[in-house]
Amino acid sequence: MEKENAKKIVFSGIQPTGSFTLGNYIGAVRNWPLLQYEYNCIYSVVDQHALTVRQEPATLRKRTYEALAMILASGVDPEKSMVFVQSHNPVHSQLSWILACNTQFGELSRMTQFKDKSAKHPDNVNGGLFTYPILMAADILAYNAHGIPVGSDQKQHVELARNIAQRFNANYGETFVLPEPFIPAVGAKIMSLQEPTKKMSKSDENINSFILLSDDKDTIMRKFKRAVTDSDGVVKYDTENKPGVSNLMGIYKVFTGKSFEEIEKEFDGVGYGVLKEAVGTSVIEALAPVQSEYTRILSDRTYLDSVMKNGAEKAQRYSQRILDKVYRKVGFVQLKNK
């Protein structure tokens, strides 16, 4: 382990807005356990972010447990990493206000996720949806995190967090570490199986557009068999002209470690049916151990509650020191005898 890296902090979060998709897994969660050896990792179920879209309270509660169980099933060890639920640490919301006062309206207006989500939910373009990236900046800056493992869709938000940190440091003196996105070399953006020019998303209305980590073998295979490709029948990596086939090849590459040339050779002249079946099998095999761990962990509520509690305590203790420093810097009066 590099001494310098040992001190660096990694933060990432995931919303409990549904069962995780293969996109969430490949782009983010799958990489989380691997980082535990090199960095001090902090992983959060970001339930406050989930409220930017209307949620049914009982479902949100259930999905929060499921998200935590999925993070642990993917190999994150709560003894090695800090694992907690965002709403259990009030520091995020407190810091968020200070950061909001250091963020410009114009910056938030440029966020593509805000534009996409407000178009998707025109009846609920709420303030939280607009200021979401500030809360995300607080998630990161509350721990002075350096590396933010995310899929490429979140790159813009991490860059905004960096700009806010830079501005705060310039106005008030060196306070925050400048975060940077860690984007995986392969699988940074897994596309919808039905509309391969759109990212795979757990809130997509078309259930055939995504693979869920909770899907059984038959469902996974059926969804891959129905995946939209094109009509020329040639297995070739070309994201512009063949987005569907390229997406399938990207998924296959992640789980087999084969290069695109090897994949093109393997499926030369055999057509898409064989490719779809092979991709389906590689995904089923890779997800099987995670799925059985997930079922085991999810049935143990006592364990999940204890992970949440310990994680919340650690997260709060750690981030409170940073918030105190921020409060001092902006000129808030500190209570004596604190």
Please say if 117 is a catalytic residue: yes
Q: Known catalytic residue: 258?
A: no
User: Using the rule CB under 6 A, is 206 a contact of ligand AQP?
Assistant: no
Quote the CA–CA distance of 215 and 20 in Å, as a whole number. 10
- Binding status of residue 40 toward ligand AQP by CB under 6 A: no
- In 75-189, which ranges are E strands? 82-85, 147-149, 180-182
Q: From the CB of 42, what's the least distance to ligand AQP, in Å?
A: 14
Check binding of 223 to ligand AQP (CB under 6 A).
no
From the list 56-64, 166-174, 200-208, 228-236, the region that binds ligand AQP by CB under 6 A is 200-208
Stretch that binds ligand AQP, among 14-22, 252-260, 282-290, 300-308 (CB under 6 A): 14-22
Look up residue 1 and give its DSSP letter. -
Q: Applying CB under 6 A, which of residues 9, 10, 15, 68 lies at the interface with ligand AQP?
A: 15
> For residues 253 and 127, what is the distance between their CA atoms, to the nearest angstrom?
40
Residue nearest to ligand AQP (CB): 27
Distance CA 295, CA 66 (A): 9
> Interface with ligand AQP by CB under 6 A: which range of 13-21, 245-253, 270-278, 319-327?
13-21
Candidates 63, 146, 189, 223; binder of ligand AQP (CB under 6 A) is: 189
What whole-number distance in Å separates Cα of residue 37 and Cα of residue 122?
43
Q: Pick from 202, 242, 253, 276 the residue near ligand AQP by CB under 6 A.
A: 202
- Could you list the beta-strand ranges (E) of the chain: 9-14, 40-45, 82-85, 147-149, 180-182
Calpha distance 5→38 (Å, rounded) = 6
Fill in the amino acid letter for 248: L
Closest-CA residue to 219 (of 279, 275, 284, 276) = 284
Question: Does the active-site annotation cover 202?
Answer: yes
**103-139 exposure pattern, b = at least 16 Cβ within 10 A, e = fewer:** beeeebeebebbeebeeeeeeeeeeebbbbbbbbbbb
Nearer to ligand AQP, 17 or 103 (CB): 17
Establish if 199 lies at the interface with ligand AQP (CB under 6 A): yes
Query: Is 190 among the residues that bind ligand AQP (CB under 6 A)?
Result: yes
Q: Contact with ligand AQP (CB under 6 A): which of 10, 19, 23, 249? A: 23
Annotated catalytic residues are: 117, 199, 202
The residue ranges that bind ligand AQP (CB under 6 A) are 14-15, 17, 21, 23-24, 26-28, 150-151, 153-154, 188-190, 199-203
